[in-house]
Amino acid sequence: MIGILYALLPAFAWGSLVLVSVKLRGNAYSQTMGITAGAFIFSAVIYLIKSPELSPFILLIGFISGISWSVGQLNQLASVEHIGVSKAVPISTGMQLLGTTLFGVLVFHEWETSSAIWIGFCSILLIIAGVLLTSYGQKEEESKKGKLKKGMVTLLISTAGFVGYVIILRWFNIGGWEAVLPQSIGMAAGAFVLSVRHKPFTKYALKNILTGLMWAAGNLGLLLAIPRIGVAVSFSMSQMGIVISTFGGIYLLGEKKSKRQLVLVMIGSFLVIAGGVMLGFTKK
């Protein structure tokens, strides 16, 4: 049960992150720099409190994981500029769920019984169906301008980064408390290298320190959940924040939807939640 609760923390924190970041304004580069600054502050405080032992190996792997995250986050924020929050986040969520679940099941053998495989398979189908419904309705004029194509390519790169950030730590069996600080250093380094040519050090970067603190709290919850309930379950549940992002994009950011699209969004959101709850039953 404690693992499930840990996995729900990033659902709330990350589900609000892109929404809050867009509301605070700035481009993808300044937003990413702000997030990494906030994450580093959070992780430094956690390190001083817990004082976990950090070997050179843990520092290296955590650093690489952080760099992978910076690729994922910057490109996710960049995709919002092309296709909006209410479409980018659901599609991003579906891609990440597929990637992490395949690794969790095929590589780490996290679903050991036939019933777990059956329930897990059905829950993933529900989540994917929900994601497709919530992302329905891309405007034709946007597609003609190439925005959808650019957004999808950017999201593919983002997905590779996000999946790598989760899987790397699991592969080397590094715990959450140990990973937090070296991971945040890698995040900051990766964000700096990717953003420095775009002059990211603006007032918007300072504002987005808030979103960095939000992300770090969710990240700690995920890292603590993975050893308890596995990658497939913990990451899938952490992505249920899609509901917050989708409705926030519509009602707070004013992203227009027709009545039909709103109905599909509601049904899709319900399916995502149902799938996430079902995933909880795949772990003994």
**Looking at residue 232, what is its pLDDT?**
67
**pLDDT for 161 beyond 90:** yes
Task: Give burial (CB, 10 Å; 0-12/13-18/19+) of 159.
Answer: buried
- Residues 267 and 59: their CA atoms lie apart, in Å, by 43
Predicted confidence (pLDDT) per residue in 2-18, tens digit: 888 888 888 888 888 88
Range of the domain at 189: 2-282
Q: Which carries the bigger pLDDT value, residue 208 or residue 220?
A: 208
Task: Categorize the per-residue pLDDT at 136 as very low, low, confident or very high, splitting at 50, 70 and 90.
Answer: low
Q: Which carries the bigger pLDDT value, residue 273 or residue 79?
A: 79
Asked which of 147-151, 209-213, 231-235 is least confident by mean pLDDT, the reply is 231-235
Beta strands in the chain (DSSP E): none
| pLDDT, mean of residues 103-128 | 84
Predicted confidence (pLDDT) per residue in 216-253, tens digit: 888 888 878 888 887 767 777 777 777 787 778 777 77
Radius of gyration of the chain (CA): 18
Q: How far apart are the first and last CA of the chain?
A: 10
Task: Enter the tokens of residue 172.
Answer: 């080397």
Predicted confidence (pLDDT) per residue in 39-55, tens digit: 999 999 988 988 888 89
Asked which of 26-30, 131-135, 143-147, 241-245 is least confident by mean pLDDT, the reply is 143-147
**Three-state SS at 109:** coil
Give percent helix, percent strand, percent coil of the chain, each to the nearest 5: 85, 0, 15
**Looking at residue 224, what is its pLDDT?**
84
Q: How many domains, the chain?
A: 1
**Looking at residue 44, what is its pLDDT?**
92
pLDDT > 70 fraction of the chain, expressed in percent and rounded: 94
Q: How many CB atoms lie within 10 A of CB 275?
A: 25
Q: Which residues fall within 8 angstroms of residue 69, CB to CB, at 6 or more apart?
A: 161, 162, 165, 183, 186, 187, 190
